[in-house]
Amino acid sequence: MSLRSLLRKARLPVAVGLLGTTILVPGPAPAQEEVADALRRYKDREVSTGFYEEYEVKPRRMRPFIKSPREAPPQRPFPLSSTAAVVRNRTYLADSHAGIQFYARRRCEECHVTEATHSHTVRGNVTCRQCHGGEPIAGINYYYSPMNPIRRHSYVCAKCHEGANASFATFLVHEPPAGAPQTRKVFPSFYYANWFMYLLIVGTLGFFGLHTLIWMGKESYHAIKEKMEPEPEAKAEEEPIKEPEPKPEAGAGPKEEPAGGQENE
Amino acid sequence: MNDQVRIVRFNIFDRLFHVFIMVTFLLQAVTGMGRLLYQTAWGKSIVGLFGGYDGATTVHNTVGVLMIIGFVIHIAYILAKVEWQAWRRSLFSPDSLVPRLEDAKHLGQKFRWFFGLGPPPAFDRWTYWEKFDYWAVFWGLPLLGLTGLLLMFPVATSRIMPGWVLNILLLLHRAEALLAMLYIFIVHFTVGHLRRGMFPMNECMFAGSVELEKEREEKPLWIARIQEDGRLEEAEVPGPPRWYRILYFVFGYAALAVGLYLLINIVLYRNYLEWH
């Protein structure tokens, strides 16, 4: 039985099946997601947002199980320097810029140079403060910060991305440089995906670029050579109408004459 | 060119698929590059053609969905083309685009010919670079389509996989798109237009037919096989009419111009390209 006749025969059952599925299986409603569990009821929402109805509740001791690539290099037993130690601790402060001199007169991107060029700012025209909040800007790990991963999705992401959940919030807006060695530790899959694509691009373009380059060089070499010394074969090539060569029929590969019509690849 | 014997090489479906992918690919390339380089004045002006960033995104998404539909139709088409009773012979015949051992040998022969170490390979119906062109699109389209579809609905995607996968999907989408553009604009355009004997344009993908005598040199095994089977007569077709040639020359060169324009700007703005 050919595939075509099989498809023709299966037309009706497939159509009925699709129709039945569409009618019988209810579509997911966004609002059901958090409440769907009859046993846990609002627990998911409570755990992930710290909110139960309008009261803010303390999340449980454990951070909800949000697996995300670490945004900072892994902690060392001892800080590299006293400054580094201060910088790291600042992510836990209620006012992460406390004590910085002339802070009122400085702009975010003066210090956060690489953080200022990312897709949300460049494309979406989002400002730093729209996500990180107004003064005093809380560190992202500060317990009550809206940027804290336990509630980031509902306080920050969902402002624009309706329905954002904790998983959505693990998207890295400030990506680490994909090819850099330290990224292998913070976000390995990103690092390996980047190098895979890099090697694929360089390999493909390198191989076929070289292939094309040599090919074109070879062809122009033959073209110039034939122009310099017009041989009988070259003339035959220019007027192919008058000389239909019946030769290649005899043997599959008319390979014996390197200066023949073969350069006309 | 019409006073020569011509034989059919591509049927109407093959040609329509090619025109379809030309138009959609270039639209995706323009809207994609414009958005990728949105921080530059050039990117903003390109995106402006589609009514701004959001307009370009809408066009990009819509055309992307069209491409996925086209790809599904293409799969149905090739599934219908395989003779399933004799699938082994059908899939691995020289008329099939499935890679064969000969292709690797031809590649080696070709490189030997490049350096004057041997005769050029005698090709059958499909050369190895034609097969590579086909399979490159065949792998690129699902990758770009799938990553694009997932990126189109990020909130829904983050329900079925961790949100940071979107970072990787975005990287894959951009890198693969960049590879596809560079490959088409550099390698495919050179092979299609600049080869000797093909110079202004290799017309067979539009005309659907090739000159028999030219093909005898280019793909001797294919012609020999047709002749052996006695199918040469039925493969003969009239050449394309004049108006149609003018049409596809204009169309082909317009596509070439768009591609080269993009390529030049990719090179000019290479420092702003971020594939992650």
Give tens-digit pLDDT for A144-176: 888 888 788 888 988 888 888 888 888 888 888
Tell whether the model's pLDDT for residue A33 goes beyond 70: no
pLDDT band at A26 (very low <50, low <70, confident <90, very high): low
Chain B CB contacts of A162 below 8 Å: 155
CA distance B244 to chain A (A): 23
Give the pLDDT score at B137.
Answer: 92
Give the pLDDT score at A230.
Answer: 66
Question: Whole-angstrom Cα distance, residue B47 to residue B37?
Answer: 9
Give the pLDDT score at B274.
Answer: 79
Tell whether the model's pLDDT for residue B196 goes beyond 70: yes
Q: What are phi and psi of B211, to 5 degrees?
A: -75, 130
Question: Whole-angstrom Cα distance, residue B242 to residue B130?
Answer: 27
Chain A CB contacts of B213 below 8 Å: 240, 244-245
Give the pLDDT score at B49.
Answer: 93
Give the pLDDT score at A76.
Answer: 61
Tell me which of A205 and A41 has the higher pLDDT.
A205
Contact check, Cβ <8 Å, A2/B213:
no
Tell me which of A99 and A74 has the higher pLDDT.
A99
ipTM beyond cut 0.85: yes
CA distance B247 to chain A (A): 25
Q: Which of A94-103, A252-261, B160-169 has the lowest mean pLDDT?
A: A252-261
- A140 contact partners, CB below 8 Å, separation of at least 6: A71, A91, A132, A147, A148, A149
Domain boundaries, chain A: 31-59, 71-175, 179-237
By residue count, chain A amounts to: 265
Q: Which of A237-251, B158-172, B185-199 has the lowest mean pLDDT?
A: A237-251
Is residue A228 exposed (0-12), middle (13-18) or buried (19+ Cβ within 10 Å)? exposed
User: Topology of domain B6-272, per CATH?
Assistant: Fumarate Reductase Cytochrome B subunit (1.20.950)
Taking only the tens place, the pLDDT of each residue in A117-147 is 788 888 888 888 888 888 888 888 888 888 8
Instruction: Give the residue from chain B lying closest to A202, CA to CA.
Output: B179
Give the pLDDT score at A253.
Answer: 41
Taking only the tens place, the pLDDT of each residue in A206-262 is 999 999 999 999 888 888 888 887 655 544 444 444 444 444 444 444 444 444 444
Contact check, Cβ <8 Å, B182/A205:
yes
- Mean pLDDT, range B85-109, rounded to an integer: 88
- Mean pLDDT, range B56-63, rounded to an integer: 94
Chain A CB contacts of B190 below 8 Å: 212, 216
Tell whether the model's pLDDT for residue A264 goes beyond 50: no
Contact check, Cβ <8 Å, A240/B213:
yes
DSSP 8-state secondary structure symbol assigned to residue B236? B
Q: Which of A28-42, B225-239, B248-262 has the lowest mean pLDDT?
A: A28-42
Distances (CA, A) of A170 to A146, A147, A156, A173, A193: 14, 11, 12, 9, 18
- Mean pLDDT, range A19-45, rounded to an integer: 63
Average pLDDT across chain A, whole number: 73
Tell whether the model's pLDDT for residue A75 goes beyond 70: no
Instruction: Give the residue from chain B lying closest to A29, CA to CA.
Output: B156
Give the pLDDT score at B257.
Answer: 94
Which range of A144-148, A227-231, B72-76, B231-235 scores highest in mean pLDDT? It is: B72-76
Contact check, Cβ <8 Å, A211/B129:
yes
Contact check, Cβ <8 Å, A165/B183:
no
Instruction: Give the residue from chain B lying closest to A157, CA to CA.
Output: B155
Contact check, Cβ <8 Å, B191/A212:
yes
Give the pLDDT score at A84.
Answer: 62
Tell me which of B111 and A182 has the higher pLDDT.
B111
Question: Whole-angstrom Cα distance, residue B213 to residue A216?
Answer: 22
Give the pLDDT score at B59.
Answer: 95
Tell me which of A38 and B176 has the higher pLDDT.
B176
Q: What tokens appear for A114 in the block?
A: 């690489």
Cis peptide leading into residue A136 (ω within 30°): yes
Give the pLDDT score at B92.
Answer: 86
Question: Whole-angstrom Cα distance, residue B230 to residue A43?
Answer: 76
By residue count, chain B amounts to: 276
Q: Which of A225-229, A234-238, B72-76, B141-145 has the lowest mean pLDDT?
A: A234-238
pLDDT band at B34 (very low <50, low <70, confident <90, very high): very high
